[in-house]
Amino acid sequence: MDDMVAVRVEGLTRTYATDGQQVVALAGVDAAFARGTFTAVMGPSGSGKSTLLQTAAGLDRPSAGQVWIGGTELSELSETKLTELRRDRIGFVFQAFNLIGALTVEENILLPSKLAGTRPDRQWVASVVERVGLTPRLSHRPAQLSGGQQQRVAIARALSVRPDVVFADEPTGALDTETAAEVLTLLRSMVDEFGQTVVMVTHDPVAASYADRVLVLADGQIVRDLPQVGAEKIAELLASR
């Protein structure tokens, strides 16, 4: 496996059986995500974006096809190994922040290392915390923070283990425009300054305009794979389908 590739999926297929009917959520997707890049995954509701993210992140098993995180192929892994891989090598950022209210900001950020029983790289964590602007807030609890600040905690937590990839599912969906721009600028800087890899599902062409690459899904397939073309052009492309 190419060292420059953070995530690769091949023939990724996910079908669901509901009421005796087969729903094809992903219909054989092939894609590679290079290290140090920021990709936006777009497409209409029901096109398979969340399913792509969930299967690529090892949260859900595909019906067929393969996923590699770094050099590791996931289908052979036991549930325990898969859980460890998710914890140690993948960062997650969700629309709803998903922080633990009873823990401080610092404890939330260090939680993945704590769960792994590993010693965090303090210098790395400090530089991430500094970059997201949370150094003065480390002893606060999530409820004492604004939505944008909470999402910055989630970003710092996702990056704390220096993952192979950060998967973000509508990370700005719950934020106002200005706060969303701050969060997207931060994700962008994590890629540019820290060489991290981000794959982000979004409905918002402006959010997608922060990425290097835009993948558009329709009916469980990639129908467009574009370099960054700007928010206006992205909105046009989505409307033309």
State the residues that interact with ligand ATP by CB under 6 A.
16, 18, 23, 25, 43, 45-51
Report the distance separating Cα 94 and Cα 239, nearest Å.
26
Query: Residue 37 or 51: which CB sits closer to ligand ATP?
Result: 51
> What H or E segment, with its residue span, contains residue 129?
helix 122-131
Query: Residue 47 or 172: which CB sits closer to ligand ATP?
Result: 47
Contact 42, 224 (CB under 8 A): no
Q: Scan for tokens 């690529």, then name that residue.
A: 56
- What is the nearest approach in angstroms of ligand ATP to the Cβ of residue 198? 17
Query: Residue 105 or 198: which CB sits closer to ligand ATP?
Result: 198
- What is the nearest approach in angstroms of ligand ATP to the Cβ of residue 21? 9
Report the distance separating Cα 49 and Cα 57, nearest Å.
12
Do you know the residue count of the chain? Answer: 241
Query: Residue 43 or 163: which CB sits closer to ligand ATP?
Result: 43
- What is the nearest approach in angstroms of ligand ATP to the Cβ of residue 131? 29
- What is the nearest approach in angstroms of ligand ATP to the Cβ of residue 77? 22
Report the distance separating Cα 108 and Cα 99, nearest Å.
7
